[in-house]
Amino acid sequence: MRGPDLGSRRGAGGTGALLGAIVSEIKLLEWGILESSVLAVCMMLFFIFLGSVLVYCFFFCRVPW
């Protein structure tokens, strides 16, 4: 439990670091476990939805409105 664990976690990438920061922010707020996990799931679903919409708009630019 020395250098390799820390090094592998630091080299994981931007998304892992961002998710870790979000989770630590949620844990710093002293809510119950239920509310923080529900908020984390809602944020994850929102980011997945936003990412899929952006990918759809990027690849299929001719969207009929």
More confident residue, 55 or 59: 55
**With the CA atoms of 45, 50, 54 and 55 taken in that order, what torsion angle do they form, in degrees rounded to the nearest 10?**
0
pLDDT at residue 1 is higher than 60:
no
The 10s digit of each residue's pLDDT in 4-56 is 444 444 444 556 677 777 777 666 555 555 566 777 888 899 999 998 888 88
Q: Per-residue DSSP letters for 40-53?
A: HHHHHHHHHHHHHH
Residue 5, pLDDT score = 42
Locate tokens 């299929």: which residue? Answer: 60
More confident residue, 58 or 25: 58
Residue 35, pLDDT score = 64
